[in-house]
Amino acid sequence: MSITPDDINHIARLARLKTDDEKSEFYATQLTRIMDLVEQMNQVDTDGIEPMSHPQDAALRLREDVVTRVNQREEYQAIAPDAERGFYLVPKVIE
């Protein structure tokens, strides 16, 4: 399994990570090696085995849809990179 710098550009875009030529080259080499390790999984036939997403197959617990916490907007926005009048500020997205 060979991962190319172009693959890295695509993955980095999906993961919202800025990349450049040097970086894509670096990660392509490393991810190729890691995916070779991952390919070892193919030594085992897993057909018919149910996928396991939780260590004990437990279902997530549900709770009543009631308010259990007080609003802490001020505290949470105090640590934001840029917030004003209750809003988080980001670069303009609509022209």
Q: Is 86 in the site for other proteins (CB under 8 A)?
A: no
The CA distances from residue 17 to 13, 33, 94, in Å, are 6, 21, 23
User: In whole angstroms, how close is the CB of 75 to other proteins at the nearest point?
Assistant: 4
User: What x-and-dash track marks residues 45-64 binding other proteins by CB under 8 A?
Assistant: -x--xxxxxxxx-x-xx-x-
User: In whole angstroms, how close is the CB of 43 to other proteins at the nearest point?
Assistant: 7
Number of residues located near other proteins, criterion CB under 8 A: 52
As a whole number of angstroms, the distance between CA 24 and CA 12 comes to 9
Q: Is 11 in the site for other proteins (CB under 8 A)?
A: yes
Q: Is 79 in the site for other proteins (CB under 8 A)?
A: yes
20 closest CA partner among 35, 30, 5, 2: 5
- Which residue is listed with tokens 């001020």? 74
